[in-house]
Amino acid sequence: MSAFKYFQEEWTPVINQYLEEYLASEVDDQKISQIMAYSVMAGGKRLRPLLFLATLNALGKEITTTEVRIACGIELIHTYSLIHDDLPAMDNDDYRRGKLTSHKKWGEAEAILAGDALLPMGIQWIAEGSNSAKLVAIITQAVGPNGMVGGQYLDIDSTNNASVAGDAKFINRMEWLKTGCLIQASVEMAAVYAKASQVEQVKLVGFAKVFGRSYQIYDDLVDVVETSEEAGKATHKDQEEGKNNTLTLLGIDRSRQELRDLIKQAQDDLHGLNGEVLAGFLALYQKVL
Amino acid sequence: MSAFKYFQEEWTPVINQYLEEYLASEVDDQKISQIMAYSVMAGGKRLRPLLFLATLNALGKEITTTEVRIACGIELIHTYSLIHDDLPAMDNDDYRRGKLTSHKKWGEAEAILAGDALLPMGIQWIAEGSNSAKLVAIITQAVGPNGMVGGQYLDIDSTNNASVAGDAKFINRMEWLKTGCLIQASVEMAAVYAKASQVEQVKLVGFAKVFGRSYQIYDDLVDVVETSEEAGKATHKDQEEGKNNTLTLLGIDRSRQELRDLIKQAQDDLHGLNGEVLAGFLALYQKVL
């Protein structure tokens, strides 16, 4: 078993258990707790919390409940973004990960509020786990108007806008903000938290930037390569809805080549670090190559 | 001129200028910046940032741009809550402060995202201004599922629910979460930031709790006492929509009496503090008494 697989199998259940236990015990109202947990516990890969923990691992930092709290805070924030992206006014999706989306299951007001509850609670866990205003500044910038939400806005604003369909610079920027920023923040927070040296920080942020970029291409490829059943949500949907992404720009073959190039680049960035586990995240992409 | 009036007239323009300047300069995308600023600059009273600054004043802490950044972060968060409350799936309001609500002006996706951008940016300003993870923990708890969003959820969940129409305990709790928590947090953050003594903290938090409770009663009274034109939004609406609040529970006369009692209590809480400016906030209520 690879170092990554071993790490993943060790920490994924710890993350899942922490999320389940503390969403139940730290949210007073049982109904909104249930609505929040419905989406958080819907079977995600826990990519971002695992990245945070794997970066700590690369830096030789011990992982205790405190670090798991920070990692799980990132997952709460990621889940909020999925709930709001699925809303009728946004992507209007009925299913995610094979289950009804939050608004289809609980109602639209409930879904908006579940997202609005997960975002500050995620930041709270990060603040309390790290006791660091610097980590809070990193995560809030990554998900604010110059980060994830800004990317979602560009996406909404440009859907069915033919003038940006071939604008690679615009599409790269939009995809980076939507997905890359939060992935980079997961690694960067770990580097700051573990007091990485300047050289380590540069390498890790370099890796995170390339990994974040490649993850979006992977995600777009999943949308066309997998059947709807495998992906657990409506696939082939981006194209039908006039969404602009690297895939619609480059086509499948050139997107795959771009992904291969980025994997190589990410591996190079880890050179000289204890990054065996981190490098293992790149294996995720094999199924679309 | 009262100490409060003087303070208000000194700092309100500073707050307004800071908000306008930094929403423009710190948000990269001009369109989303414009949508955010539309609601932030819609002419609010700046009650929460003024409360934060007035509490610093009561503790003898100097106010510089750093403290104004924290205060304005609270206002960004308050504005996010108004935008989301007005959404079609929530209170479905067309006007606020005499202007079209965000979703009526810009579209529903845009309004959701403007709120989603203001919340983390507000927390970012608080984190950067204070460099304190403790302040972040206070604000995120106040607006999360055990605070403001939890109250909004109870409101949505109980509207037109006859079984809670006469349940004073439920209504008190809902109103406290919806409005009181953020007001208390504005005072509490200032007390922690200015390193208030234990005795000062207890008095200030006591004041903030009573002020937060009384503010909700005031807000409900405005809804029936003022004409729609004066309030800048649809009034008499709560009753028509089956909303449960202290007013529907007690009626106008007993609500006014409750408000008078709370004003007295808040004044007592400030005894022994340099709280002349803070006490002035209670004068706001005169117009509904």
Q: What is the pLDDT along chain B (289 residues), one digit of tens a residue?
A: 789 999 999 999 999 999 999 999 999 999 999 999 999 999 899 999 999 999 999 999 999 999 999 999 999 999 999 999 999 999 999 999 899 999 999 999 999 999 999 999 999 999 999 999 999 999 999 999 999 999 999 999 887 677 787 788 998 899 999 999 999 999 999 999 999 999 999 999 999 999 999 998 998 898 888 765 566 666 566 656 667 788 888 889 999 999 999 999 999 999 989 889 999 999 989 889 8
CB B188 within 8 A of CB B138: yes
Average pLDDT over residues A126-131: 98
Residue A239 is predicted with a pLDDT of: 60
* Helix boundaries (H) for A131-245: 133-143, 148-158, 168-175, 181-193, 198-225, 228-231, 237-240
Nearest chain B residue (CA) to A34? B145
Q: How confident is the model at residue A242 (pLDDT cuts 50, 70, 90)?
A: low
ipTM for the whole predicted complex goes beyond 0.90 = yes
Residue B127 is predicted with a pLDDT of: 98
Please give the Cα distance from B222 to B255 (Å, whole number).
12
- Among the listed residues A276, A211, A188, the one whose alpha carbon sits nearest the alpha carbon of residue A8: A276
Nearest chain A residue (CA) to B128? A137
Q: Does domain A3-288 have CATH number 1.10.600.10?
A: yes
Residue A187 is predicted with a pLDDT of: 97
Q: Tell me the sheet residues that pair with B100.
A: B95
User: Could you say which DSSP state residue B180 is in?
Assistant: I
Dihedral (Cα; A15, A19, A22, A25), 10-degree rounding: -140
Residue A243 is predicted with a pLDDT of: 72
Helices (H) and strands (E) in chain A, counts: 15, 2
Q: For residue B53, count other CB atoms closer than 10 A to its CB.
A: 28
Q: φ and ψ at A132, to 5 degrees?
A: -130, 115
Measure CB to CB from residue B153 to each of A29, A141, A154 and give the nearest one.
A29
CB B70 within 8 A of CB B191: no
Q: What sign does the dihedral B162-B165-B166-B170 (CA atoms) show? A: positive
CB B186 within 8 A of CB B168: no
Nearest chain A residue (CA) to B120? A140
Please give the Cα distance from B177 to B146 (Å, whole number).
7
CB contact set of B149 (below 8 Å; sequence gap of 6+): A32, A113, A116, A117, A120, B143
Q: Which helix (H) or strand (E) holds B93?
A: none
Contact flag A144-B154 (C-beta cutoff 8 Å): no
Contact flag A109-B90 (C-beta cutoff 8 Å): yes
User: Could you say which DSSP state residue B64 is in?
Assistant: -
Q: How confident is the model at residue A27 (pLDDT cuts 50, 70, 90)?
A: very high
Dihedral (Cα; A47, A49, A52, A57), 10-degree rounding: -90
Contact flag B132-A130 (C-beta cutoff 8 Å): no
Please give the Cα distance from B175 to B283 (Å, whole number).
21
Q: What sign does the dihedral B42-B47-B51-B57 (CA atoms) show? A: positive
B124 part of contact set with chain A, CB < 8 Å: yes
Contact flag A140-B149 (C-beta cutoff 8 Å): no
Contact flag B145-A117 (C-beta cutoff 8 Å): yes
Measure CB to CB from residue A149 to each of B117, B133, B145 and give the nearest one.
B117
Average pLDDT over residues A185-206: 97
